[in-house]
């Protein structure tokens, strides 16, 4: 499945403008043969927008979800997008996956909140593994800081995730996560990992780009630079199956030795 990574910070504070950016990117991705388009963390609203997060937050089946579903169906590809999700009084940092026919397939609430900003504005989720099927692939969802905890990714590996989708807001000086941690996570867990970042200055943050799709061999299939960019790469089920057959990590685990850690 060809996967498109939309490395963009869009227009912080404007869901209307960000939906326009998403629509345009979906058109380009579909024209290039993509079956899935992934955005950055909190793409629909912006990340460093303070209390606007609460005002712009919507339910998982709200108006923005309907708008994204229309974009997905009009271009014929699935979309995973970051947004602030409201559920009662709580606001979650979420990613939702919508199929090419507009069906809401899966919704993940970020389980590990990073820094005071996120802890001040969001409630942490409590489901480590959320998955859905797209074109025969088992797609899992995490967000940014979630992927830096090896237990999270290993849980996905044990649950059979083939492609782990990770919208992110990775900031300076932590670019080593995109450059080094993500390929290692893909290798040690025998999966593809699509890690999609924001770019440039936003509030007090400087987002570093470097979005990547890494394969189970630890090799980046594509890597963006530091600017607004749409990059594409293929997720190959046959290569994944062969890699899993040859790599012993998951077979050679001895949970009895470290069960207390998990």
- Tell me which residues are annotated as active site: 41, 110, 144
Measured distance CA(207)–CA(7) in Å, rounded: 11
C-beta of residue 216 within 8 angstroms of C-beta of residue 244? yes
Measured distance CA(161)–CA(128) in Å, rounded: 12
Total count of residues recorded for the chain: 262
Give me 155's structure tokens.
Answer: 């849980």
C-beta of residue 9 within 8 angstroms of C-beta of residue 207? yes
CA dihedral sign, ordered 21, 26, 29, 34:
positive
Measured distance CA(136)–CA(60) in Å, rounded: 24
Measured distance CA(131)–CA(61) in Å, rounded: 18
Q: How far is CA 17 from the centre of its chain?
A: 21
The strand pair at 163-167 and 192-196 is best described as parallel
Look at residue 257 and give its three-state secondary structure: helix
Measured distance CA(163)–CA(261) in Å, rounded: 25
Measured distance CA(3)–CA(7) in Å, rounded: 13
Give me 69's structure tokens.
Answer: 């579903």
Look at residue 216 and give its three-state secondary structure: coil
């Amino acid at each position: 499945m060809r996967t498109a990574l939309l490395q963009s910070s869009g227009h912080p504070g404007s869901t209307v403008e960000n939906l326009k950016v998403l629509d345009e990117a979906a058109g380009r991705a579909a024209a290039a043969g993509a079956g899935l388009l992934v955005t950055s963390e909190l793409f629909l609203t912006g990340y460093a927008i303070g209390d606007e997060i609460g005002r712009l937050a919507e339910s998982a089946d709200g108006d923005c979800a309907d708008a994204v579903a229309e974009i997905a169906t009009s271009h014929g590809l699935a979309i995973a997008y970051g947004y602030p999700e409201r559920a009662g009084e709580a606001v979650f940092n979420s990613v939702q996956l919508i199929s090419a026919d507009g069906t809401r397939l899966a919704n993940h609430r970020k389980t590990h909140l990073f820094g005071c900003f996120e802890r001040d504005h969001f409630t942490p989720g409590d489901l480590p593994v959320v998955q859905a099927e797209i074109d025969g692939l088992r797609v899992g969802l995490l967000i940014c800081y979630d992927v830096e905890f090896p237990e999270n990714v290993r849980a996905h590996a044990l649950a059979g995730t083939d492609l782990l989708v990770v919208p992110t807001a990775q900031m300076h000086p932590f670019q080593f996560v995109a450059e080094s941690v993500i390929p290692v996570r893909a290798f040690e867990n025998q999966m593809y990992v699509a890690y999609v970042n924001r770019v440039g200055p936003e509030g007090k943050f400087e987002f570093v780009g470097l979005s990547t799709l890494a394969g189970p061999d630890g090799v980046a299939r594509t890597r963006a630079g530091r600017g607004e960019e749409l990059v594409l790469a293929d997720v190959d089920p046959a290569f994944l199956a062969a890699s899993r057959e040859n790599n012993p990590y998951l077979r050679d685990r001895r949970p009895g030795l470290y069960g207390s850690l998990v």
